[in-house]
Amino acid sequence: MSTMSKPSAPLPPVKIPASSPTSAAPSTDARQVRSQRQLVLASTSPFRRELLGRLGLAFEAAAPDCDETRLDDEPPQALVQRLAEAKARAVAAAFPDALIIGSDQVACLDDQLLGKPGGREKALEQLRQASGRRVIFETGLCLYDARNDWLQVCCEPYQVQFRVLSEAEIAAYVDREQPFGCAGSFKSEGLGIALFERLEGADPTGLIGLPLIRLCALMRNAGVDPLR
């Protein structure tokens, strides 16, 4: 889905150091192509920074300042798309010529949204609830072309089927990995994979917080090809 709209007045961003690409250095020609547009990740998440770094593109990261409160009766898909756009727009004043990436994610257990637990007891509670059940992760993604005031927004779902977990397994996992800053109380890129029966979805990187397959498609639409 793509929309055209005028940006709202953004809040000043807080810059953090740019992430380094994790792939092999491109050729001189490729570096020249890649430097034609500035790329900005509107996030301070180390997981999203690591994911974006896999594409081997130079980018900067900035902290968006925006209200993430859910609106009354707002569906999860609408929530994450709205916040992904808001995060991208929030740093646009500092990067008026850039392509800006915004992303937001929620975990859904039936009609309940599972946020970041913030501590041990809440993490234990979330995993008890998820035991033997399916949790759907909705990841909103926005690529905002600040130069041309053009944006693309989409939502990428991913499903996690949990095993039936014992109390001992839940406690052992929480104490070892301490996933207190992760929606749903697990890290799929770490030991959290041991909690699952199966994973279902088009883009496994979406589960970590930044769906790279979809992002590459949006970037190609904007004239940036990670393979060039």
Which residue has tokens 């925006």?
66
Rounded Cα gap, residues 182 and 126, in angstroms: 11
In DSSP notation, 89-113 reads: HHTTTT-TTSEEEEEEEEEEETTEE
104 is catalytic: yes
What number of CA atoms fall less than 13 Å from residue 28's CA on the CB side?
0
Among 65, 104, 110, 203, the one annotated catalytic:
104
- Output phi, psi for 172, to 5 deg: -65, -40
> Cβ neighbours of residue 149 under 8 Å, at least 6 residues apart?
4, 5, 6, 7
Question: β-pairing, 39-41 with 60-63?
Answer: parallel
Task: Supply the residues annotated as catalytic.
Answer: 104
